Amino acid sequence: MGKKVVWTTGYTILNVMYFAAFCTLHAYAAVFLLSRGFSNTSIGILLAAANVTSALFQPFIAGIIDKGGWLTNRRFILISCLIILAGSVVLRSIVSQAAIFVIFAMIYMIQFAYQPVMTALCFEYQKKGCDIYYGLARGLGSAGFAVTSAFMGSAVEKHGETLLMTVTAVIMIISVIAIYFFRSGKENGTDTAASGVKKEEAAHGNIKLFFGTYPAFALFVAATILFFFAHNMINDFMIQIIRSLGGAEKELGYSNFLQAILELPVMALIGLVLKKVSPAKLLVFSGIAFFIKILILVFATNMVWMFVSQSFQLFAYAVFIPAAAYYVSDTMTENDQVKGQAYVTSAITIGGVFSNLLSGIILDNLGMKPMLITGSLVCLAGVVISFFALRRDMNSCSP
């Protein structure tokens, strides 16, 4: 029990710091970029460029880590934190929009790219005998996002948007220290236990062979893209949605706090739920919740409805993330699971790409309601696809 507490605590710190930075870089991306003179359309293009790069980069990095060379999960996270630290420090002072575009897109992309590696790190260490309570650590990560968001809303109003980069830099310093000391004692360049590599892994290294082996997973990835088109539409343009309902940065902080803090109990208890309900059923359920969440905003007239919408995070994102991790674990061989986690995160990222490309343009040219209606219809299509993709797996439960 003592060792479980130690390893879970270490992994929890990594998650809390990761999602605190996710708040400052992703949830407040529009706030920072609007303050630097970017339009809604240019913000969409920047975030889309970062997401496209991240979607391509994630499976590529997973493939390198799987080979069992010098680049391990832990080392990639360490390198990522150092790059984000440097980028956030530079962004505090530069004024050139071109430079801001490049640097912000880079750190936004890298922060997304090491998310599946964080999940893979947990499973890697568990295989080495490091007992980690994944659900609790991941849920407390969401709590870290919630607390950061609640603090940042009022702080940005008082001290200005540059504070976002200052806080990001501090978070990255803590992350570097935490990941440096988070060692299993068995990490080396040829540790196959760390990478899970076996001879048959090479057969599924090709994307066509991978999805050919898991056709239901391929459809699920498509549904995930559609879910997160709607999800990212809300998150990336939340400040505009809130302003249209009469709110401001303070309400943005409260809204993000609400949806994030609700993730904690669900993620912490998901292991118990999965003993009775299959990951596939939970994924379809979460898709329906994503749809309801954005549909509420189509008809919202004030901030009360914004908070009601954000409350559905309890059934949407909070269920989807751990259920997807368990679904990959249940349906794929050990040698394919790191790639499976990476493809789920890539699908989430690609959903963001299409959302970034279209949402800003629709918002600038047609307005808020057409943007939200578009997101609702796309998400509904994802619900239908997810049902057909996962119907065969709905009767199995995780151990």
Q: Which residue spans within the chain are E strands per DSSP?
A: none
Res 195: pLDDT = 39
For residues 153-171, one letter each, b for 16 or more C-beta atoms within 10 angstroms of the residue's C-beta and e for the rest, the string is bebbeeeebebbbbbbbbb
Neighbours of 176 (CB within 10 A): 19
CA separation for the pair 166, 184 (Å, rounded): 31
pTM for the full predicted model? 0.75
**Domain locations in the chain as residue ranges:** 2-183+209-393
Res 396: pLDDT = 58
Fold designation for 2-183+209-393: Growth Hormone; Chain: A; (1.20.1250)
156 and 249 Cβ atoms separated by less than 8 Å: yes
* pLDDT tens track for 344-359: 988 988 888 788 778 8
Res 376: pLDDT = 95
**Stretch (H or E) spanning 324:** helix 317-331
Res 196: pLDDT = 41
Neighbours of 33 (CB within 10 A): 21
Res 2: pLDDT = 66
31 and 164 Cβ atoms separated by less than 8 Å: yes
CA separation for the pair 232, 314 (Å, rounded): 16
40 and 360 Cβ atoms separated by less than 8 Å: yes
For residues 236-275, one letter each, b for 16 or more C-beta atoms within 10 angstroms of the residue's C-beta and e for the rest, the string is bbbbbbbebbebebbbbbbbbbbbbbbbbebbbebbebbe
Res 391: pLDDT = 83
CA separation for the pair 129, 120 (Å, rounded): 15
Res 202: pLDDT = 45
Q: What is residue 326's three-state secondary structure?
A: helix
Structure tokens that stand for 259 in this block: 């949806």
pLDDT per residue, tens digit, the chain (399 aa), is 567 788 888 999 999 999 999 989 988 888 899 888 888 888 888 888 887 888 888 888 887 777 767 888 889 999 999 999 999 999 998 888 899 999 999 999 999 888 888 888 887 887 787 888 888 888 888 888 878 887 887 888 888 888 999 999 999 999 999 999 988 765 544 343 333 444 344 435 567 778 888 888 989 999 999 999 999 898 878 888 899 888 887 788 788 778 777 887 888 888 788 888 888 999 999 999 999 999 999 999 889 899 899 889 889 998 998 899 888 877 887 677 778 888 898 898 888 878 877 888 898 889 899 999 999 999 999 999 999 988 877 665 554
Res 44: pLDDT = 81
Res 397: pLDDT = 56
Res 147: pLDDT = 83
74 and 187 Cβ atoms separated by less than 8 Å: yes
15 and 331 Cβ atoms separated by less than 8 Å: no
199 and 333 Cβ atoms separated by less than 8 Å: no
